[in-house]
Structure formats: C-alpha cells, structure tokens
Copies of this chain bind each other. A is one copy, B any other.
Amino acid sequence: MKLIWSPTSPFARKVRVAAYELGLHERLTLEALNVQPGKLNPEYATSVNPLRKIPALILDDGEAIVDSLIICDYLDALAGGDRIIPAANPERARVLTAHSIANGVIDTLVQLRYETWLRPEELRWQVWSDDLWDRVVHGLSWLEQRAGAPRDRFDLAAITTACMLGYLDLRFAGAAWREKFPALAAFEAAVRDRPSLGNTAPPQG
C-alpha cells in the first residue's frame, strides 16, 4: 500500500501513527506530495483525490482511500478490528466524537494558518481569525476536561490529540498551550516517547 503524505501534515502523521500502533507501518510505502492553496496538482486531483488533500492511501489494486479517518478505519479492520476504533457503542461514539473534536481543531489550525500566514496581509479578516482561534481554545478546553480520564488503550482519539498537539508545537510555537491546559500537557509528556509518535515527528523549524 502506498501512502501519499507530507512530513509536516498532521493528518498524514495520524495515519502513520495508527499504522505503527496497529503493527502495519512496514506495509506502507510513502510518496511525498506538496499541497497548498493555489497549487492545483492536476494529476493528483484527477486520479486520486479531487479535493487535493493529503493523506490518501493507494491500495495494491489502484483503489484510493480518503480521508485520514477512513484510512484509519480501513487499517483498523486490516489489523483485525476493534483496535484503535472501538467496535461497539457507547464507547465507539465516544472515541469517534473525541476524534472529531481533535481533528476539527487541526482543521481549524490549518485554516488559521491560511488566514494569518498564507493569505496576502491586506486581505486578512480579523473577525475570522478571532473566530477560528475561539474554536481552537474551546476545542482544547473540551479535550483538557477529558485528558485525565483513564484509558485502556491508545485509541484514535488519543492518536489524533497527540498529532494535534504536535502541530500546535510545530506551527503555533508561541501559543503556550501547556500552561493553560495542564492535563493535555501531562498527556503529551506521557505519550511522547511511544515509537509511533517518535518515529513520525515532523521536522522542526
């Protein structure tokens, strides 16, 4: 299987961490692709993902799977199922909802970066970046309240939260989130040395 990725994409990292946790990482070959607004990547848009996002998983028969959640669902099934995504409710809905929140915070941070870094300075809209940052803070508070709860496994919500925090450190280094969210800081310190996270850390700087 081939994973279309980039070294700094938190969504691609999530899939790689999942593959490590499931013991499937050696079955993934990586192919790098640079995606950003204004770069139309016509071949990728036509043959893999019309939305031009990464990651995408290309199976050996050529079929492409998107997006990162669906790839993780596929890998979980390939590893036997009920591993990083609980099979039964209510635990399933709880983990998938926490995944939605952590993943949505990543999405919001990416939008914030487009607004405050990529978009020409004279076209930025303060109302929008304030709104996005408010969502990030509420998202972190939501995750903070649940970060101290006992976990019996390193599930998809935990994987995605760890990748989200790594992305905060990579792109929003001045955010000082550890001081405001001590339970998330403790969580990050506790999981940082897992091989799945250590082996997929983005290049710094």
Query: Beyond A53-B104, A66-B101, A125-B120, is A138–B45 a contact (Cβ under 8 Å)?
Result: yes
On chain B, the residues within 8 Å of A105 by CB distance are 51
Number of chain A interface residues as a range: 35 or more
Task: Report the minimum CB–CB distance from A63 to chain B (whole Å).
Answer: 7
For chain A residues 31-63, which have a beta carbon within 8 Å of chain B? 37-38, 40, 45-46, 49-53, 63
Interface bits A85-124 vs B (CB < 8 Å: 1, else 0): 0000110111011011100110010000010000110011
Q: Is A200 positioned at the interface, with any CB of B under 8 Å from its CB?
A: no
The answer on a CB contact under 8 Å between B92 and A77 is yes
Binds B, one of A21-29, A67-75, A175-183, A187-195: A67-75
Q: Is A64 positioned at the interface, with any CB of B under 8 Å from its CB?
A: yes
Q: Is A134 positioned at the interface, with any CB of B under 8 Å from its CB?
A: yes
Q: Is A9 positioned at the interface, with any CB of B under 8 Å from its CB?
A: no
Task: Report the minimum CB–CB distance from A49 to chain B (whole Å).
Answer: 8
On chain B, the residues within 8 Å of A66 by CB distance are 97, 100-101
Task: Report the minimum CB–CB distance from A201 to chain B (whole Å).
Answer: 26
Residues of A within 8 A of B (CB): 37-38, 40, 45-46, 49-53, 63-67, 69-70, 73-74, 77-78, 89-90, 92-94, 96-97, 99-101, 104-105, 108, 114, 119-120, 123-125, 127-128, 131, 134-135, 138-139, 141-142
Query: Can you list 30 A-B contacts with CB-CB less than 8 angstroms, sorted by A residue number?
Result: A37-B131, A38-B128, A38-B131, A45-B138, A46-B138, A46-B141, A50-B104, A50-B135, A50-B138, A50-B139, A50-B142, A51-B104, A51-B108, A51-B138, A52-B135, A52-B138, A53-B104, A63-B93, A65-B93, A66-B100, A66-B101, A69-B69, A70-B96, A70-B100, A73-B92, A73-B96, A74-B92, A74-B93, A119-B128, A123-B123
| Other 16 A-B pairs with CB < 8 A, given A46-B138, A67-B104 | A38-B128, A40-B131, A45-B134, A45-B138, A50-B142, A51-B101, A51-B108, A51-B139, A52-B135, A65-B96, A65-B97, A66-B100, A66-B101, A70-B100, A74-B92, A119-B128
